[in-house]
Structures are given as C-alpha cells and as structure tokens.
Amino acid sequence: MKKVFIFFSLLLMAVENYGQSPKTINLDDCYKLARQQYPLIKQHDLIEKAKDYSIQNASKGYYPQFSVNGQATYQSAVTTIPMGALPKPFNDISFPVPSKDQYKVTGEVDQMIYDGGAIKYTKQADDANAKIQQQNLEVELYALKDRVNQVFFGVLLMDEQLKQNVLTQKDIQSSIDKIQEGVNNGTATINNVYELQATLMQQQQNKIQLQASRKAYLDMLGVFTNQQLDENTILQTPHSVAVSDSIKRPELMLYDAQKRSYNIQDYILSASNSPRFSFFFQGGYGRPGLNMFDNTFQPYYISGFRFSWMLGGYYTLKNQRQILEINRKTTDIQKETFLFNTNIALKQQNSDIQKLRALIEKDNEIISKRTEVKNASKVQMENGVVTVHEYISQLDAEDQARQNLLLHQVQLLLAEYSYLNTTGN
C-alpha cells in the first residue's frame, strides 16, 4: 500500500510539472525587478509625501492668521487732567480718572495681501529640495545596474561553458567508442580507453564546477530580483548594442536640480527683504476700552492695513548672494569633474570593446585551425599513427580555444552593456 501511495504521489507531481516551461528572464527584467525590490526604493514615496506636506504648509501662509491675546496690568500712574489749575469756571469741571488696574482681551485676524513672493518661492524651494533628494536616490539606484550586469553575464558565461563541456564530452565519448571497437578487434590496447575515460571524467568534474558556479550566480541574481531561480531558469542572451558617446546619467540631473535650488534661494533672499502688506481686524474687551475716560468694561474693535519692512536683512544680503554664487560654481566644478572622469572611463571601456572584438576574430581563426588539427589527429589515433595522449592534447587545445572564444564573447557583451551603463543610455 505504501508503494502504491508513493507511485501515485510521483505521478501527481509529474502531471503538475508536465507542460510547464522553464522560467525565462532577460536583462531588462532583472534591472526592473532589482530596482523594485531594493529597500532604498521605499524612500521615493516618503520623499513625495514630505514634499506635499511642506508645500501644503507653505500654501497656508495665504490663509488668514488668527491670534488671541490677554493681559491684566497694574500701573503706578494714570492719565489725569489737572482742571483745578485752570481759571474759573473751568476748574469746576471734572473728568473720570482711569483705574490703575486695567484688563484687556483681544482677538486679531491678519490677512496677508503682499509678501514679496516669499510663500511662492518657499513652495518652489520645497519642490526643488524634493527633486534633489529624488535624484540622489536615483543615483544610488542606478549603481544597481552594474552589479546586476556582473551577476547576469556571469550566469551567461557558465551557460556557454556548460554547452561547450557537453560537446567536448560527446567528442571524447565518440573516441572512446571507436577505440573500444579496436580493443574488441585486437587492434588497440585497453590503456587507450582508460586514458580517454580519465579525460572524460575530468570534463565531468569541470561540469560539476561550472554548475556550482552557475548556481552561485543564480542565487545572487535571485536575491537582487527577489525571484526563485533554479537550475532550469533560462537567461536570454542580450543582443550586441551600438555604443554612443552621449552621456545621460542621473548625476547630471542632480547637478541641475542643485543649481535650480540655489536660484530659488536667491529669490527667497529678495522676497525676505521686501515690504509686506496685510489687512487686519482686531476685536477686544477690557477696561478701559478705546475711550480712556470711560472707566468701565466695554467691547471695541480696530480695523485697517498694516505695513512692515525689515531692513536689517540688507546688512548680509550681498554676502548671502556671494555664498550662493560660490555654491553654483562648486556645482559646476563637480559636474565638470564627473564628466571628465566619465569620459576617461568611456575611453578605457571603448578600448576594451575594440580589443575584445579583435580577440574574437582571432579566436575564430584559431578554433578553425585547432579543429582541423584535432580531426586529423583523431583519424591518426584511430589508425595507430599517433598516441591517445597526443590526440588528447589536440582535443584540449581545441577545447581551450573554444573556451577563450566563449569568454571573450561574454566579456564583449558585458563591456558593451557596461559602456551603456556608464553613459546612461
């Protein structure tokens, strides 16, 4: 009964897996997935929310401003009119004397009419600062591409070497079969078979090492992309790309955003030193009210326009603008330095690309010659002209030539995509 259960379990697993094609992933998918799952990407939404709150707070500067104040005071003297010192009949007139203890509660509404553009430029500054933070984040996220490239093309190299390993094993096995026929016919010795079998085992060892390296690269790629990648996962080999000298890196947008921020700060300086106009309404209740000769509690109000102009800011305005200009020039120097270093890197990478293309051309020529020598050596070995050891040497030489070609082909693709990554295209 237990055997029957195991049989049906295996059968069910086979049915479930039947028709399921292996997972396929390309380089662009890896870029997108690595970006989406990278923890730093969560800052995007936080930066946007903080910007929205800051702009909303700045916009509320246009709202009427309310304030409530109260005070209770006692003063040593109050205003009086010395009527007794006047000639008759004026000295018989008396005026009420205010109390020395006085009380006042007021509420005021102040509506900004003109602030020199301070609120508008504050909102622009909040937006500019958010863009700087976003671009800083983009610069950090962009560095992911290079890391993904190294792992992705590492897997591709292992795939190509595994394919070559299979072909080499087939070639060796074919030779073993031929020599075995000679042993059976008495025209060859068993030692020749053993030597070829040992060479086959070495290739099988190489396959185990390549498979382990591929799994390690896939595991790293799985961590970057947050995907379940196994030995059946297929990585699509990207097409060769044309290189371009134009630079479109996110760092350039960061420098532009920084300069824009300095320009807005200059506007804020002008606005902070501009006059301000507002309308106000003040209502109060106290003793005395506006009529100081009425020594009773009474309500009152005052309404009108208010003008203010703080002139102390002009003392430092020139120096503050000089600081902003220094910051702009510093940003220009940083941008120039970045472009200089990037162009140097592009020159080196372009040189590597040209070198690898030349090497690949030579690899194909070498493989053609090595294959001819190996095939001739194989026929000679089967006819007893050369030893198995000599044939294996030629086989190894051809295999090494093909391995060099595979390595240079993958290195060329990696160099081309690294070049794209350096330019930002």
Q: Domain-by-domain residue ranges, the chain?
A: 32-63+116-277+315-423
The whole-angstrom separation of Cα 424 and Cα 36 is: 19
Is the pTM higher than 0.85? no
Residue 104: phi, psi to the nearest 5? -155, 130
User: How do residues 68-89 score in pLDDT, each as one tens digit?
Assistant: 999 999 998 887 776 666 666 6
The whole-angstrom separation of Cα 18 and Cα 132 is: 52
- The predicted pLDDT at position 218 comes to 92
- List, in order, residues 6 or more apart from 335 with CB less than 8 Å away: 251, 252, 255
* Distances from the Cα of 171 to the Cα of 25, 33, 100, 373, 380, angstroms: 31, 40, 117, 14, 15
- The predicted pLDDT at position 2 comes to 42
- The predicted pLDDT at position 252 comes to 93
* Regions of the chain with pLDDT less than 70: 1-22, 82-94
- The predicted pLDDT at position 39 comes to 86
- The predicted pLDDT at position 86 comes to 62
The whole-angstrom separation of Cα 425 and Cα 407 is: 25
**CATH assignment of 32-63+116-277+315-423?**
1.20.1600.10
The whole-angstrom separation of Cα 179 and Cα 201 is: 17
Q: Side-chain half-sphere of 40: how many Cα atoms within 13 Å?
A: 15
**For residue 118, which of 278, 303, 325, 280 has the smallest C-alpha distance?**
278
Residue 63 three-state SS: coil
- The predicted pLDDT at position 362 comes to 95
Q: Side-chain half-sphere of 382: how many Cα atoms within 13 Å?
A: 14
**For residue 159, which of 234, 216, 219, 227 has the smallest C-alpha distance?**
234
What is the enclosing helix (H) or strand (E) of 117? none
